[in-house]
Amino acid sequence: MTSGEERPLVEVRDLQKYYFEQDTLVDRLLGNETRSVKAVDGVSFDIHEGETLGLVGESGCGKSTTGETVLRLREATGGDVRFDGESVSELSGSDLARFRRRAQIVFQDPFSSLDPRMTVGEIIAEPLVVHDLPDEPVEGSAREWRRERAADLLERVGLSASQLDRYPHEFSGGQRQRVGIARALALDPDFIVLDEPVSALDVSVQAQVLNLLSDLQDEFGLTYLFIAHDLSVVRHLCDRVAVMYLGSVVELGPVDAIFESPDHPYTQALLESVPRASVEEQGRYVETLTGDVPSPRNPPSGCRFRTRCPVVIPPADVDIDQGAYRAVMDLRDALERGDLDAESVWGRLDAERGDEEAFVESVRETYLDGQTLSGENERVVGEAVAALAREEHATATDLLAERFASVCETDQPTLGADEHTAACHLVGGEETPTSRTDDTTRTN
Ligand SMILES: Nc1ncnc2c1ncn2[C@@H]1O[C@H](COP(=O)(O)OP(=O)(O)OP(=O)(O)O)[C@@H](O)[C@H]1O
Protein backbone atom coordinates (compact mmCIF):
# COMPACT_ATOMS: atom_id res chain seq x y z
CA MET A 1 0.00 0.00 0.00
CA THR A 2 2.83 2.33 0.89
CA SER A 3 5.10 3.65 -1.78
CA GLY A 4 8.41 4.94 -0.53
CA GLU A 5 9.62 6.40 -3.81
CA GLU A 6 6.75 8.44 -5.16
CA ARG A 7 6.19 11.95 -3.92
CA PRO A 8 3.93 11.84 -0.87
CA LEU A 9 0.37 13.04 -1.39
CA VAL A 10 0.61 15.11 1.80
CA GLU A 11 3.85 16.72 2.98
CA VAL A 12 3.75 18.58 6.28
CA ARG A 13 6.84 20.58 7.21
CA ASP A 14 7.46 22.33 10.50
CA LEU A 15 3.77 23.16 10.81
CA GLN A 16 2.82 25.62 13.53
CA LYS A 17 -0.58 26.66 14.73
CA TYR A 18 -0.72 29.09 17.61
CA TYR A 19 -3.97 30.36 19.05
CA PHE A 20 -3.82 33.83 20.52
CA GLU A 21 -5.73 34.58 23.70
CA GLN A 22 -6.53 37.98 25.20
CA ASP A 23 -6.19 39.39 21.75
CA THR A 24 -9.35 41.52 21.52
CA LEU A 25 -9.59 45.28 21.34
CA VAL A 26 -10.86 45.31 24.94
CA ASP A 27 -7.82 43.31 26.03
CA ARG A 28 -5.57 45.82 24.33
CA LEU A 29 -7.36 48.70 26.00
CA LEU A 30 -7.04 46.98 29.36
CA GLY A 31 -3.39 46.33 28.68
CA ASN A 32 -3.81 42.55 28.88
CA GLU A 33 -0.84 40.80 27.37
CA THR A 34 -1.65 38.52 24.43
CA ARG A 35 -0.86 34.90 25.23
CA SER A 36 -0.06 32.31 22.61
CA VAL A 37 -1.26 28.74 22.87
CA LYS A 38 1.23 26.65 20.95
CA ALA A 39 -1.24 23.95 19.93
CA VAL A 40 0.96 22.72 17.07
CA ASP A 41 4.61 23.63 17.21
CA GLY A 42 6.87 22.27 14.49
CA VAL A 43 5.14 19.16 13.19
CA SER A 44 6.49 17.34 10.13
CA PHE A 45 5.32 14.16 8.41
CA ASP A 46 4.47 12.72 4.99
CA ILE A 47 1.48 10.67 3.95
CA HIS A 48 1.79 8.61 0.81
CA GLU A 49 -1.04 7.86 -1.56
CA GLY A 50 -3.20 4.99 -0.33
CA GLU A 51 -1.56 5.10 3.07
CA THR A 52 -3.06 5.61 6.51
CA LEU A 53 -1.00 7.62 8.94
CA GLY A 54 -2.19 7.42 12.54
CA LEU A 55 -1.83 10.55 14.67
CA VAL A 56 -2.07 9.63 18.32
CA GLY A 57 -1.63 11.25 21.70
CA GLU A 58 -3.57 12.31 24.77
CA SER A 59 -6.37 14.80 24.69
CA GLY A 60 -5.13 18.36 24.12
CA CYS A 61 -1.83 17.47 22.46
CA GLY A 62 -2.84 19.14 19.20
CA LYS A 63 -4.11 16.31 17.00
CA SER A 64 -7.34 17.96 15.84
CA THR A 65 -5.59 21.28 15.30
CA THR A 66 -3.00 19.50 13.15
CA GLY A 67 -5.70 17.79 11.08
CA GLU A 68 -7.69 20.97 10.62
CA THR A 69 -4.62 23.04 9.76
CA VAL A 70 -3.47 20.45 7.22
CA LEU A 71 -6.89 20.85 5.56
CA ARG A 72 -6.62 24.62 5.85
CA LEU A 73 -9.79 24.76 7.89
CA ARG A 74 -7.49 26.77 10.14
CA GLU A 75 -4.74 29.01 8.82
CA ALA A 76 -1.25 27.89 9.83
CA THR A 77 0.90 30.22 11.92
CA GLY A 78 4.02 28.87 10.24
CA GLY A 79 5.44 25.98 8.24
CA ASP A 80 4.11 24.42 5.10
CA VAL A 81 1.62 21.82 3.93
CA ARG A 82 1.96 20.54 0.39
CA PHE A 83 -0.82 18.54 -1.18
CA ASP A 84 0.04 16.73 -4.38
CA GLY A 85 3.07 18.98 -4.66
CA GLU A 86 1.24 22.29 -4.17
CA SER A 87 1.57 24.53 -1.15
CA VAL A 88 -1.89 24.57 0.40
CA SER A 89 -1.46 28.00 2.00
CA GLU A 90 -0.85 29.56 -1.39
CA LEU A 91 -3.96 28.12 -3.06
CA SER A 92 -6.77 30.44 -4.02
CA GLY A 93 -9.77 30.59 -6.34
CA SER A 94 -10.44 27.45 -8.36
CA ASP A 95 -7.22 25.76 -7.08
CA LEU A 96 -8.41 26.14 -3.51
CA ALA A 97 -11.87 24.87 -4.43
CA ARG A 98 -10.27 21.85 -6.08
CA PHE A 99 -8.23 21.17 -2.95
CA ARG A 100 -11.37 21.42 -0.85
CA ARG A 101 -12.98 18.77 -3.03
CA ARG A 102 -10.01 16.46 -2.81
CA ALA A 103 -9.44 16.74 0.95
CA GLN A 104 -12.25 16.01 3.42
CA ILE A 105 -12.80 15.43 7.12
CA VAL A 106 -14.91 13.11 9.28
CA PHE A 107 -15.52 14.48 12.74
CA GLN A 108 -15.54 12.63 16.03
CA ASP A 109 -19.04 13.31 17.19
CA PRO A 110 -21.74 12.02 14.84
CA PHE A 111 -24.36 13.70 17.05
CA SER A 112 -23.21 17.30 16.78
CA SER A 113 -21.64 17.15 13.33
CA LEU A 114 -24.90 16.48 11.47
CA ASP A 115 -27.49 19.25 11.18
CA PRO A 116 -30.63 17.86 12.91
CA ARG A 117 -32.95 19.88 10.64
CA MET A 118 -31.68 18.30 7.45
CA THR A 119 -32.50 14.83 6.12
CA VAL A 120 -29.52 12.56 5.66
CA GLY A 121 -30.06 12.87 1.90
CA GLU A 122 -29.67 16.64 2.17
CA ILE A 123 -26.68 16.29 4.47
CA ILE A 124 -24.82 14.01 2.08
CA ALA A 125 -25.74 16.15 -0.94
CA GLU A 126 -24.77 19.43 0.73
CA PRO A 127 -21.09 19.38 -0.36
CA LEU A 128 -22.30 18.80 -3.92
CA VAL A 129 -24.47 21.91 -3.67
CA VAL A 130 -21.65 23.97 -2.16
CA HIS A 131 -19.30 22.93 -4.98
CA ASP A 132 -21.99 23.46 -7.58
CA LEU A 133 -22.04 19.87 -8.80
CA PRO A 134 -22.78 18.33 -11.22
CA ASP A 135 -20.46 20.48 -13.32
CA GLU A 136 -21.43 18.71 -16.54
CA PRO A 137 -24.85 18.28 -18.14
CA VAL A 138 -26.73 15.30 -16.68
CA GLU A 139 -29.90 13.48 -17.46
CA GLY A 140 -32.75 14.89 -15.41
CA SER A 141 -32.32 17.73 -12.95
CA ALA A 142 -29.19 18.55 -10.96
CA ARG A 143 -31.23 17.95 -7.81
CA GLU A 144 -32.17 14.45 -8.91
CA TRP A 145 -28.56 13.73 -9.80
CA ARG A 146 -27.44 14.80 -6.32
CA ARG A 147 -30.18 12.75 -4.70
CA GLU A 148 -29.13 9.69 -6.65
CA ARG A 149 -25.53 10.23 -5.68
CA ALA A 150 -26.55 10.54 -2.02
CA ALA A 151 -28.59 7.32 -2.30
CA ASP A 152 -25.64 5.53 -3.84
CA LEU A 153 -23.31 6.77 -1.09
CA LEU A 154 -25.75 5.67 1.61
CA GLU A 155 -25.65 2.16 0.18
CA ARG A 156 -21.87 2.24 -0.02
CA VAL A 157 -21.55 3.00 3.67
CA GLY A 158 -23.87 0.12 4.56
CA LEU A 159 -27.16 1.99 4.96
CA SER A 160 -30.21 1.79 2.75
CA ALA A 161 -31.22 4.24 0.01
CA SER A 162 -34.72 4.07 1.48
CA GLN A 163 -33.42 6.00 4.51
CA LEU A 164 -32.61 9.08 2.44
CA ASP A 165 -35.48 11.16 3.81
CA ARG A 166 -34.93 10.34 7.46
CA TYR A 167 -33.44 12.74 9.99
CA PRO A 168 -30.25 12.17 12.01
CA HIS A 169 -32.13 11.55 15.27
CA GLU A 170 -33.70 8.47 13.69
CA PHE A 171 -30.28 6.82 13.44
CA SER A 172 -27.99 5.18 15.97
CA GLY A 173 -24.52 6.60 16.68
CA GLY A 174 -22.82 4.12 14.35
CA GLN A 175 -25.33 4.83 11.58
CA ARG A 176 -24.85 8.57 11.98
CA GLN A 177 -21.12 8.17 11.65
CA ARG A 178 -21.76 6.24 8.45
CA VAL A 179 -23.75 9.25 7.23
CA GLY A 180 -20.79 11.50 8.16
CA ILE A 181 -18.52 9.23 6.14
CA ALA A 182 -20.92 9.27 3.18
CA ARG A 183 -20.90 13.07 3.30
CA ALA A 184 -17.09 13.08 3.27
CA LEU A 185 -17.13 10.79 0.23
CA ALA A 186 -19.63 12.88 -1.72
CA LEU A 187 -17.00 14.90 -3.57
CA ASP A 188 -14.96 11.83 -4.43
CA PRO A 189 -11.94 12.95 -2.38
CA ASP A 190 -8.41 11.54 -2.41
CA PHE A 191 -7.60 12.34 1.21
CA ILE A 192 -9.68 12.24 4.37
CA VAL A 193 -8.78 13.37 7.88
CA LEU A 194 -10.58 10.99 10.22
CA ASP A 195 -10.73 12.88 13.51
CA GLU A 196 -11.40 10.23 16.15
CA PRO A 197 -14.12 8.71 13.96
CA VAL A 198 -15.04 5.91 16.38
CA SER A 199 -14.25 7.43 19.79
CA ALA A 200 -17.86 8.43 20.46
CA LEU A 201 -19.25 5.03 19.46
CA ASP A 202 -20.03 1.92 21.48
CA VAL A 203 -17.15 -0.52 21.43
CA SER A 204 -19.36 -3.08 19.67
CA VAL A 205 -19.94 -0.64 16.79
CA GLN A 206 -16.36 0.66 16.56
CA ALA A 207 -15.02 -2.39 14.73
CA GLN A 208 -17.79 -2.21 12.13
CA VAL A 209 -17.04 1.43 11.33
CA LEU A 210 -13.30 0.75 11.22
CA ASN A 211 -13.90 -2.12 8.81
CA LEU A 212 -16.06 0.13 6.67
CA LEU A 213 -13.30 2.77 6.56
CA SER A 214 -10.81 0.11 5.55
CA ASP A 215 -13.08 -1.23 2.78
CA LEU A 216 -13.77 2.27 1.47
CA GLN A 217 -10.06 3.00 1.40
CA ASP A 218 -9.49 0.03 -0.89
CA GLU A 219 -12.54 0.75 -2.99
CA PHE A 220 -11.81 4.43 -3.58
CA GLY A 221 -8.03 4.48 -3.25
CA LEU A 222 -8.24 6.85 -0.28
CA THR A 223 -5.41 8.27 1.80
CA TYR A 224 -6.15 8.76 5.49
CA LEU A 225 -4.85 10.79 8.39
CA PHE A 226 -6.39 8.84 11.24
CA ILE A 227 -6.53 10.77 14.52
CA ALA A 228 -7.01 8.79 17.74
CA HIS A 229 -6.16 8.97 21.41
CA ASP A 230 -6.68 5.25 21.81
CA LEU A 231 -3.79 3.28 20.40
CA SER A 232 -5.71 0.03 20.26
CA VAL A 233 -7.92 1.28 17.42
CA VAL A 234 -4.93 2.51 15.45
CA ARG A 235 -3.17 -0.78 15.03
CA HIS A 236 -5.51 -2.39 12.53
CA LEU A 237 -6.06 0.56 10.26
CA CYS A 238 -2.73 2.39 10.10
CA ASP A 239 0.40 1.76 8.08
CA ARG A 240 2.49 4.24 10.05
CA VAL A 241 1.96 6.15 13.26
CA ALA A 242 3.01 9.62 14.43
CA VAL A 243 2.86 10.01 18.20
CA MET A 244 2.14 13.57 19.31
CA TYR A 245 2.87 15.18 22.64
CA LEU A 246 2.16 18.79 23.50
CA GLY A 247 2.25 20.14 19.96
CA SER A 248 5.12 18.03 18.60
CA VAL A 249 5.59 14.63 17.00
CA VAL A 250 7.82 12.65 19.35
CA GLU A 251 7.93 9.34 17.49
CA LEU A 252 7.18 8.31 13.95
CA GLY A 253 7.38 4.88 12.39
CA PRO A 254 5.73 1.85 10.85
CA VAL A 255 2.81 0.69 12.95
CA ASP A 256 4.42 -2.62 13.97
CA ALA A 257 7.64 -0.92 15.04
CA ILE A 258 5.70 1.58 17.14
CA PHE A 259 3.74 -1.18 18.86
CA GLU A 260 6.48 -3.76 19.19
CA SER A 261 9.54 -1.64 19.89
CA PRO A 262 8.48 1.87 20.86
CA ASP A 263 11.52 4.06 21.50
CA HIS A 264 10.09 7.17 23.09
CA PRO A 265 9.23 6.97 26.81
CA TYR A 266 5.93 8.71 26.01
CA THR A 267 4.97 6.11 23.41
CA GLN A 268 5.96 3.38 25.85
CA ALA A 269 3.76 4.93 28.51
CA LEU A 270 0.86 5.37 26.08
CA LEU A 271 1.08 1.72 25.09
CA GLU A 272 1.18 0.71 28.73
CA SER A 273 -1.98 2.75 29.22
CA VAL A 274 -3.95 0.70 26.71
CA PRO A 275 -6.39 -1.13 28.97
CA ARG A 276 -5.35 -4.73 29.48
CA ALA A 277 -7.64 -7.66 28.98
CA SER A 278 -6.38 -9.69 31.93
CA VAL A 279 -7.28 -8.66 35.44
CA GLU A 280 -3.70 -8.98 36.80
CA GLU A 281 -2.45 -6.58 34.17
CA GLN A 282 -5.13 -3.96 34.59
CA GLY A 283 -3.25 -2.26 37.43
CA ARG A 284 -0.64 -1.11 34.94
CA TYR A 285 -3.15 1.33 33.56
CA VAL A 286 -2.92 3.33 36.78
CA GLU A 287 0.85 3.35 37.11
CA THR A 288 1.77 4.82 33.77
CA LEU A 289 1.42 8.41 32.57
CA THR A 290 0.78 10.21 35.79
CA GLY A 291 0.05 13.91 35.87
CA ASP A 292 -1.57 16.09 33.27
CA VAL A 293 -0.21 17.29 29.97
CA PRO A 294 1.39 20.71 30.73
CA SER A 295 -0.32 23.73 29.24
CA PRO A 296 0.67 24.66 25.69
CA ARG A 297 0.53 28.28 26.93
CA ASN A 298 3.79 27.70 28.73
CA PRO A 299 5.35 24.45 27.53
CA PRO A 300 8.45 23.07 29.30
CA SER A 301 11.84 23.89 27.82
CA GLY A 302 13.81 21.18 26.03
CA CYS A 303 11.94 17.91 25.75
CA ARG A 304 8.31 18.64 26.46
CA PHE A 305 7.74 15.24 27.99
CA ARG A 306 10.48 15.72 30.58
CA THR A 307 8.09 16.86 33.33
CA ARG A 308 6.39 13.45 33.25
CA CYS A 309 9.16 11.28 31.85
CA PRO A 310 10.18 8.27 33.95
CA VAL A 311 13.70 8.22 32.47
CA VAL A 312 14.92 11.83 32.54
CA ILE A 313 18.68 11.91 32.06
CA PRO A 314 20.61 13.21 35.07
CA PRO A 315 23.92 14.99 34.45
CA ALA A 316 26.52 12.32 33.63
CA ASP A 317 28.45 13.02 36.81
CA VAL A 318 25.49 12.87 39.21
CA ASP A 319 24.73 9.44 40.62
CA ILE A 320 21.07 9.32 41.53
CA ASP A 321 18.34 6.76 41.45
CA GLN A 322 15.64 7.57 38.83
CA GLY A 323 12.82 7.74 41.37
CA ALA A 324 14.75 10.25 43.47
CA TYR A 325 15.74 12.22 40.38
CA ARG A 326 12.13 12.37 39.22
CA ALA A 327 11.15 13.69 42.65
CA VAL A 328 13.89 16.35 42.60
CA MET A 329 12.82 17.38 39.09
CA ASP A 330 9.20 17.68 40.25
CA LEU A 331 10.39 19.84 43.15
CA ARG A 332 12.34 22.06 40.76
CA ASP A 333 9.41 22.26 38.40
CA ALA A 334 7.06 23.31 41.19
CA LEU A 335 9.54 25.97 42.29
CA GLU A 336 10.11 27.30 38.81
CA ARG A 337 6.42 27.43 37.97
CA GLY A 338 5.62 29.18 41.24
CA ASP A 339 3.52 26.28 42.59
CA LEU A 340 5.90 25.99 45.53
CA ASP A 341 6.70 29.14 47.46
CA ALA A 342 7.79 29.96 50.98
CA GLU A 343 4.60 31.75 51.93
CA SER A 344 2.27 28.84 51.25
CA VAL A 345 4.51 26.32 53.02
CA TRP A 346 4.78 28.53 56.12
CA GLY A 347 1.04 29.08 55.94
CA ARG A 348 0.17 25.42 56.27
CA LEU A 349 2.90 24.59 58.83
CA ASP A 350 2.06 24.14 62.48
CA ALA A 351 5.59 25.08 63.43
CA GLU A 352 6.73 28.52 64.36
CA ARG A 353 7.72 30.75 61.46
CA GLY A 354 11.50 30.59 61.26
CA ASP A 355 11.69 26.90 62.15
CA GLU A 356 13.73 26.06 59.09
CA GLU A 357 13.99 22.40 60.00
CA ALA A 358 10.23 21.94 60.10
CA PHE A 359 9.96 23.77 56.78
CA VAL A 360 12.52 21.52 55.10
CA GLU A 361 10.86 18.45 56.57
CA SER A 362 7.46 19.49 55.23
CA VAL A 363 8.76 20.12 51.70
CA ARG A 364 10.64 16.82 51.80
CA GLU A 365 7.52 14.97 52.81
CA THR A 366 5.53 16.50 49.98
CA TYR A 367 8.08 16.08 47.23
CA LEU A 368 10.60 13.45 48.25
CA ASP A 369 8.42 11.12 50.23
CA GLY A 370 9.91 7.62 50.14
CA GLN A 371 12.91 8.69 48.05
CA THR A 372 16.42 8.34 49.35
CA LEU A 373 18.94 11.06 48.68
CA SER A 374 22.46 10.93 49.98
CA GLY A 375 25.80 12.73 49.90
CA GLU A 376 26.01 15.80 47.71
CA ASN A 377 22.48 15.30 46.31
CA GLU A 378 21.09 15.35 49.82
CA ARG A 379 23.16 18.37 50.80
CA VAL A 380 22.18 20.47 47.79
CA VAL A 381 18.46 19.73 48.13
CA GLY A 382 18.61 20.52 51.88
CA GLU A 383 20.45 23.77 51.23
CA ALA A 384 18.05 24.81 48.46
CA VAL A 385 14.92 24.15 50.52
CA ALA A 386 16.44 25.98 53.48
CA ALA A 387 17.06 28.94 51.16
CA LEU A 388 13.42 28.81 50.15
CA ALA A 389 12.42 28.86 53.82
CA ARG A 390 14.31 32.18 54.07
CA GLU A 391 12.34 33.36 51.04
CA GLU A 392 15.44 33.23 48.85
CA HIS A 393 13.51 31.71 45.98
CA ALA A 394 16.08 32.45 43.26
CA THR A 395 18.91 30.96 45.31
CA ALA A 396 16.90 27.79 45.83
CA THR A 397 16.13 27.51 42.11
CA ASP A 398 19.74 28.17 41.09
CA LEU A 399 21.26 25.72 43.56
CA LEU A 400 19.06 22.91 42.29
CA ALA A 401 19.58 23.80 38.62
CA GLU A 402 23.34 23.90 39.06
CA ARG A 403 23.47 20.39 40.42
CA PHE A 404 20.58 18.66 38.69
CA ALA A 405 19.97 20.33 35.29
CA SER A 406 19.28 17.70 32.67
CA VAL A 407 20.05 17.69 28.96
CA CYS A 408 16.31 16.97 28.63
CA GLU A 409 15.52 20.50 29.79
CA THR A 410 18.28 22.34 27.98
CA ASP A 411 18.13 20.71 24.53
CA GLN A 412 15.02 19.94 22.56
CA PRO A 413 15.46 16.52 20.94
CA THR A 414 14.43 16.24 17.29
CA LEU A 415 13.23 13.46 15.01
CA GLY A 416 15.79 11.86 12.73
CA ALA A 417 15.38 10.92 9.08
CA ASP A 418 15.04 7.16 9.65
CA GLU A 419 11.84 5.32 8.90
CA HIS A 420 11.39 4.75 12.62
CA THR A 421 12.57 7.70 14.64
CA ALA A 422 12.01 9.16 18.09
CA ALA A 423 12.77 12.63 19.44
CA CYS A 424 14.48 11.56 22.65
CA HIS A 425 18.01 12.10 23.94
CA LEU A 426 18.10 8.45 24.95
CA VAL A 427 17.56 7.25 21.39
CA GLY A 428 20.29 6.86 18.81
CA GLY A 429 22.56 9.47 20.33
CA GLU A 430 25.54 9.55 22.59
CA GLU A 431 23.35 9.48 25.71
CA THR A 432 22.30 6.06 26.90
CA PRO A 433 20.77 5.05 30.20
CA THR A 434 24.10 3.46 31.19
CA SER A 435 26.13 6.60 30.50
CA ARG A 436 24.59 8.10 33.60
CA THR A 437 26.48 5.87 35.98
CA ASP A 438 29.88 5.54 34.38
CA ASP A 439 33.24 5.97 36.10
CA THR A 440 33.17 9.74 36.01
CA THR A 441 30.06 9.84 38.21
CA ARG A 442 30.27 12.49 40.92
CA THR A 443 30.13 10.58 44.15
CA ASN A 444 27.26 11.56 46.32
N1 LIG B 1 -9.69 28.09 19.58
C2 LIG B 1 -8.77 27.84 20.52
N3 LIG B 1 -8.25 28.83 21.29
C4 LIG B 1 -7.31 28.60 22.23
N5 LIG B 1 -6.81 27.37 22.48
C6 LIG B 1 -7.28 26.34 21.75
C7 LIG B 1 -8.29 26.51 20.75
N8 LIG B 1 -8.56 25.29 20.20
C9 LIG B 1 -7.76 24.41 20.83
N10 LIG B 1 -6.99 25.03 21.75
C11 LIG B 1 -5.98 24.42 22.64
O12 LIG B 1 -5.00 23.85 21.79
C13 LIG B 1 -4.53 22.63 22.33
C14 LIG B 1 -4.68 21.53 21.31
O15 LIG B 1 -6.07 21.27 21.10
P16 LIG B 1 -6.58 20.12 20.10
O17 LIG B 1 -8.06 20.10 20.14
O18 LIG B 1 -5.93 20.29 18.78
O19 LIG B 1 -6.00 18.82 20.80
P20 LIG B 1 -6.40 17.31 20.58
O21 LIG B 1 -5.16 16.52 20.76
O22 LIG B 1 -7.13 17.15 19.30
O23 LIG B 1 -7.37 17.05 21.80
P24 LIG B 1 -8.80 16.36 21.82
O25 LIG B 1 -8.54 14.91 21.60
O26 LIG B 1 -9.30 16.67 23.19
O27 LIG B 1 -9.60 17.01 20.72
C28 LIG B 1 -5.33 22.40 23.62
O29 LIG B 1 -4.57 22.84 24.71
C30 LIG B 1 -6.55 23.26 23.44
O31 LIG B 1 -7.02 23.71 24.69
Is residue 250 in a domain?
yes
CA of 62 to the centre of ligand 1 (A): 6
Instruction: Categorize the per-residue pLDDT at 437 as very low, low, confident or very high, splitting at 50, 70 and 90.
Output: very low
Is residue 73 domain-resident? yes
Number of domains in the chain: 2
Nearest to 44 by CA among 79, 86, 95, 83: 79
Residue nearest to atom 10 of ligand 1 (CA): 39
Beta bridge partners of residue 224, listed in sequence order: 52, 192
Å from CA of 39 to ligand 1 middle: 6
The verdict on 49 and 104 lying in the same domain is yes
180 and 43 belong to one structural domain: yes
Same domain, 265 and 322: no
Mutational pocket test of ligand 1: of 38, 64, 73, 199, the residue with most ligand atoms within 8 Å of the beta carbon: 64
Spatial contact of 228 and 199, defined as CB atoms under 8 Å apart: yes
CATH code: domain of residue 264: 3.40.50.300
Supply the pLDDT for residue 440. Answer: 35
Same domain, 175 and 48: yes
Among residues 212, 243, 273, the one where a domain terminates is 273
Furthest-apart CA atoms within the chain: distance in Å: 91
Is the distance from CB of 155 to CB of 212 less than 8 angstroms?
Answer: no
pLDDT band at 382 (very low <50, low <70, confident <90, very high): very high
Region of 90 (left: φ > 0; alpha: ψ -120 to 50; beta: rest) is alpha
Q: How far is the CA of 255 from the centre of ligand 1 (A)?
A: 25
Tell me, yes or no, whether 319 and 384 share the same domain.
Answer: yes
Average the pLDDT over 408-418 and give the result.
95
Tens-digit pLDDT profile for residues 155-193: 999 999 999 999 999 999 999 999 999 999 999 999 999
Q: Which of 243, 273, 303 is at the close of a domain?
A: 273
Helix boundaries (H) for 264-353: 265-273, 284-287, 322-336, 342-348
Strands 191-195 and 223-228: parallel
267 and 346 share one domain = no
Whether residue 29 is found in the same domain as residue 82: yes
Residue 251 lies in a domain: yes
Is 153 within a domain?
no
302 pLDDT more than 90: yes
**What is the rounded distance in angstroms from the CA atom of residue 92 to the CA atom of residue 167?**
35
Chosen domain end from 217, 249, 273: 273
- Domain that includes residue 64, residue range: 10-117+167-273
What was the pLDDT predicted at 5?
67
pTM as predicted: 0.88
Terminal Cα-to-Cα distance of the chain (whole angstroms): 55
Residue-level pLDDT at 288: 61
Contact 54, 228 (CB under 8 A): yes
Angle at 409 between CA 405 and CA 411, to 5 degrees: 115
Check residue 34 and give its pLDDT. 79
* Domain match, 352 and 227 both: no
- Render pLDDT for 102-127 as a digit per residue (tens, 0 to 9): 999 999 987 788 999 999 999 999 99
Residue 29: exposure state from Cβ atoms within 10 A (0-12, 13-18, ≥19): exposed
Asked if residue 71 belongs to a domain, the reply is yes
CB-based pocket (< 6 A), ligand 1: 19, 21, 37, 39, 57, 59-65, 229, 296
Please give the pLDDT value at position 213: 97
Nearest CA to ligand 1 atom 6: 19
Which residue out of 18, 19, 193, 231 has the highest number of ligand 1 atoms within 8 Å of its CB and is therefore the one to mutate? 19
In a domain, 300, yes or no: no
Residues 260 and 350 in one domain: no
38 falls in which pLDDT band (50, 70, 90)? very high
Residue 259 belongs to some domain of the structure? yes
Give the ipTM: 0.97
Q: How far apart are CA 14 and CA 336, in angstroms?
A: 29
Same domain? 318 vs 266 = no
Residue 156 lies in a domain: no
